[in-house]
Amino acid sequence: MAGSVIGEGLTIEGELTADEEVAVHGTVRGVLTTSGPVHIAAGGVVEADVSASSLTIGGQVTGNATARDRVDIQAGGRLIGDVKASRLTIADGASFKGSVDMDV
Amino acid sequence: MPSTSIIAQGTVVRGNIRGSGSIEIRGRVHGDVEVDGDVALGEQGGVEGNIRGAQLVIAGQVAGDLQGAEAVLLERGARVVGDLTAPRIGVAEGALVRGRVRTEGEPAAPRRAAVAAVRRVPEPVRLERPAPPPVAPAPVPAKAAAAPAPVAAAPAPASPERKKAPDTRSADRPPAPVVPALGKSVRGKKKKVSRA
């Protein structure tokens, strides 16, 4: 895995910009932007607007999620914010509060 | 995996990074980095801000202070503008530093002894090493007679623990006066006095 990893217990407060995959096991507050995919693991916390090629949410996200490709909210995942993506899946057991814009 | 964080090349963080675990920075950070684990800054990595961690291994660029609870090691190609503070500091050939350097703090005892051996006057250290063996057996018979002999001296006879004994002493300051007192002639007298 060549991308960035925000480990468990680590907190980034500010703006994170990447051109590769970003995996969040810890906490990001601010803005998270990457041209690659973003994985928010169970236990990961993102209080930021997220922009990525794809977004997988297994943890908690508070903020707007924008993905060029898709957004997947996994069971146990939690999203409070709006989603803008062409494809969206919400697994059984996921929490989501917000509106969806699928470029229809 | 979860306790090790990676800021990949091409990743830019504007803000502070703090928390537990270790971090490897190959990208850029504009802000402070503060972790309780180790920090590795890759050749292509750069940090504009202060870095605090247990052991910092720097091969990239830093504009800020480096503070290591254990060590700060600058590798070839490192460019640092800022102060270095750690119990152990290493600067490799080819590393550039502009700032103050202070070796201070309390690391693990054996490491400090190693630094002292390398950095400070080597002669007193040599005197110290032969000194413990004769001193060490002395307390043992003395102990049989007098009970309240120093506890630290008791483990000294075991060969691996000889090294530990002087460390604890150096932490307590006593070695400083002992070393100058150990002239060739004075040394013999001292032993006899201590035995009696």
A100 occurs within a structural domain: no
A66 occurs within a structural domain: yes
A104 compared with A41, residue with greater pLDDT: A41
A99 occurs within a structural domain: no
ipTM of model over 0.85 = yes
Candidates A1, A6, A20: best to mutate against B (most CBs of B within 10 A) is A6
Which of residues 5 through 64 in chain A touch B, CB cutoff 8 A?
5-20, 22, 25-27, 30, 34, 41, 43
Contact B19 A25 (CB under 8 A): no
A63-88: b or e for each residue (b if 16 or more CB lie within 10 Å)? bbbbbeebbbbbeebbbebebbbeeb
A94 occurs within a structural domain: no
A60 — pLDDT class (breaks 50, 70, 90): very high
Per-residue confidence (pLDDT) for residue B7, from 0 to 100: 96
What is the Rg, in whole angstroms, of the alpha carbon atoms belonging to chain B? 22
Measured between alpha carbons, how far is A72 from A87 in angstroms, rounded to an integer? 8
A12 occurs within a structural domain: yes
Q: In the predicted model, what is the mean pLDDT of chain B?
A: 73
* pLDDT value at A86 more than 60: yes
| CA-based nearest distance B103→chain A, Å | 28
* pLDDT value at A54 more than 70: yes
Lowest mean pLDDT among B21-25, B98-102, B121-125: B121-125
CB of A4 within 8 Å of a chain B CB? The answer is yes
Residue A35: list chain B partners with CB under 8 A.
Answer: none
Per-residue confidence (pLDDT) for residue B105, from 0 to 100: 73
Residue-wise pLDDT tens digits, A2-17 = 799 999 999 999 999 9
Count of domains observed in chain A: 1
A46 occurs within a structural domain: yes
Candidates B4, B9, B17, B25: best to mutate against A (most CBs of A within 10 A) is B17
Q: Nearest residue of A to residue B23 by CA position?
A: A7
Phi first, then psi: give them for residue A61, nearest 5 degrees: -130, 130
CA distances from B99 to A22, A55, B24, B46 (A): 34, 43, 23, 17
Q: Nearest residue of A to residue B1 by CA position?
A: A7
Domain of residue A44 covers: 4-89
